[in-house]
């Protein structure tokens, strides 16, 4: 894999707090990578350092083919989590304005604006004021703006987290198209989005990367048999979940509770299933659903951010 961008031992401190604590990774050219983690893990701070909006306290960022310490911002398209626009402008005016800021001549800015508005599905709304746009339309306009200078790397901070289901689907479909043409890095805490779009993932906790690699490799590396039990909310069931949390033994390797039940990592599916079913029957647990299978990206994520 040829790296397009490499980050080495990035640190960002705010006063006495290290928001990012020695992160290192490489983004392969032509790949789509996801930066995953709970809120406050350091994703946005990392994204802003890569986009040139924050200067690292320590570490370095290198872009393949560019001299050391050169300004990489001309090669990066950036979409923040909550993009801001001039509501009185039309979408086309805003795109022409963005093009001119990136150094395009007036004629080129007009042509590029029309091409990209059509690309993101806003050709019919290009002359409307941005203040009248829906959330999904604004996010697509933000994507068009990020592409106006033909960047080598598209960096997106939580691109669909604030959208309704329709807007989310629109933007995800657009990203599927874009990943065939350019390198993409996006941050998210929504695991299905990462599974749907990305080739590589990095899971961040407390400012550090705790898991990274290609999605198939991570699935294989962390694959383990699991049993998920969802219970009713009655007292006996909730008490059993509480007692069982963190308790291992026999075929049960670990037990991690969640909102509606508990997830067991096991060494033997059949033996663990028999054990748990007998135990739940003896203790009067009301089972809403039980699933036996193998660990998912969600299981890997939950284990990485909770241990």
Indicate the DSSP class of residue 42.
Answer: S
pLDDT of residue 170: 83
| Residue 177: CB atoms within 10 Å | 10
Q: What percent of the chain has pLDDT over 90?
A: 55
The two three-digit tokens of residue 98, written as one number: 């963005």
CA 118-84-184 angle, 5° bins: 60
| Strand pairing class (225-231; 287-294) | antiparallel
Please state the rounded mean pLDDT for residues 289-298: 86
For the stretch 101-111, pLDDT in tens is 999 999 999 99
Would you say residue 174 has pLDDT above 70?
A: yes
Looking at the fold, whether 48 and 191 belong to one and the same domain comes out as yes
Quote the pLDDT of residue 83. Answer: 87
Domain end marker among 220, 243, 267: 220
Residues 205 and 239 in one domain: no
Q: Are residues 117 and 31 in the same domain?
A: yes
DSSP 70-128: ---GGGEEEE-SS----TTSBHHHHHHHHHHHTT--HHHHHHHHHHHHHHTT-GGGTTS
Asked if residue 94 has pLDDT above 90, the reply is yes
**Kind of pairing, strands 252-258 and 261-266?**
antiparallel
- Whether residue 197 is predicted with pLDDT greater than 70 in this model: the reply is yes
Q: Are residues 211 and 283 in the same domain?
A: no
Domain range spanning residue 39? 3-220
- Other CB atoms within 10 A of residue 6 CB: 14
CATH number at residue 56: 3.40.50.300
Q: How many domains does the chain have?
A: 2
Same structural domain, 91 and 34: yes
239 and 176 housed in the same domain = no
Q: State phi, psi for 55 to the nearest 5 degrees.
A: -90, 130
Strand-pair category, 252-258 with 200-205: unpaired
Whether residue 104 is found in the same domain as residue 52: yes
Task: Classify 158 as helix, strand or coil.
Answer: coil
Look at residue 276 in the predicted model and tell me its pLDDT.
Answer: 93
More confident residue, 259 or 201: 201
* Whether residues 84 and 207 fall in one domain: yes
Confidence of residue 307 (pLDDT cuts 50, 70, 90): low
pLDDT value, residue 40: 86
**Residue 293 maps to which CATH number?**
3.30.70
Report the pLDDT averaged over residues 167-175.
84
Q: Among the three residues 173, 188, 220, which one is the final residue of a domain in this structure?
A: 220
CA distance 215 to 210: 14
Residue 27: CB atoms within 10 Å: 25
Kindly report which listed range (23-32, 196-205, 253-262) carries the lowest average pLDDT score.
Answer: 253-262
Contact between 158 and 191 (Cβ < 8 Å): no
pLDDT at 299 over 80: no
Residues 192 and 292 in one domain: no
- Give the separation between CA 97 and CA 93, rounded to whole angstroms: 6
pLDDT above 90: residue 33? yes
Does residue 22 carry a pLDDT above 90? yes
Of 7 and 170, the structure prediction assigns the larger pLDDT to 7
* 132: DSSP letter: G
What does the pLDDT read at residue 78?
94
Please check whether residues 77 and 91 belong to one and the same domain: yes
Q: Are residues 69 and 159 in the same domain?
A: yes
Q: Enter the pTM of the model.
A: 0.80
Domain boundary among 220, 241, 269: 220
pLDDT at 228: 92
Shared domain check, 202 and 109: yes
Mean pLDDT along residues 151-165: 86
Task: Identify the residue whose tokens are 């407390």.
Answer: 206
Output the average pLDDT for the chain: 89
218-233 average pLDDT score = 88
H/E stretch holding 13 reads: strand 3-14
């Amino acid at each position: 894999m040829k790296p397009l961008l490499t980050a080495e031992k990035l640190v960002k401190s705010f006063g006495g707090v290290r928001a990012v604590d020695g992160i290192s990774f490489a983004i392969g050219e032509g790949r789509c990578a996801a930066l995953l983690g709970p809120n406050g893990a350091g994703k946005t701070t990392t994204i802003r350092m890569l986009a040139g909006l924050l200067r690292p306290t320590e570490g370095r960022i290198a872009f393949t083919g560019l001299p050391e310490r050169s300004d990489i911002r001309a090669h990066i398209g950036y979409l923040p989590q909550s993009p801001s626009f001039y509501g009185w402008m039309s979408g086309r005016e805003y795109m022409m304005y963005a093009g001119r800021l990136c150094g395009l001549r007036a004629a080129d800015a007009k042509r590029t604006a029309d091409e990209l508005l059509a690309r993101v599905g806003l050709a019919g709304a290009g002359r409307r004021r941005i203040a009248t746009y829906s959330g999904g339309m604004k996010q697509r306009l933000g994507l068009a703006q990020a592409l106006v200078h033909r960047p080598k790397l598209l960096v997106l901070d939580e691109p669909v987290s604030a959208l309704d289901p329709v807007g989310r689907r629109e933007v995800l479909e657009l990203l599927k198209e874009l990943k065939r043409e350019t390198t993409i890095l996006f941050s998210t805490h929504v695991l299905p989005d990462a599974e749907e779009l990305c080739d590589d993932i990095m899971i961040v906790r407390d400012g550090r990367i705790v898991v990274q690699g290609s999605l198939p490799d991570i699935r294989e590396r962390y694959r383990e048999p699991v049993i998920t039990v969802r219970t009713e909310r009655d007292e006996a069931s909730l008490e059993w979940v509480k007692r069982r949390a963190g308790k291992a033994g026999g075929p049960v390797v670990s037990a991690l509770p969640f909102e509606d039940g508990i997830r067991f990592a096991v060494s033997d599916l059949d033996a663990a299933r028999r054990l748990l079913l007998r135990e739940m029957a003896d203790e009067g647990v009301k089972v809403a659903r039980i699933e036996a299978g193998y660990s998912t990206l969600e299981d890997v994520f939950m284990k990485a951010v909770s241990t």
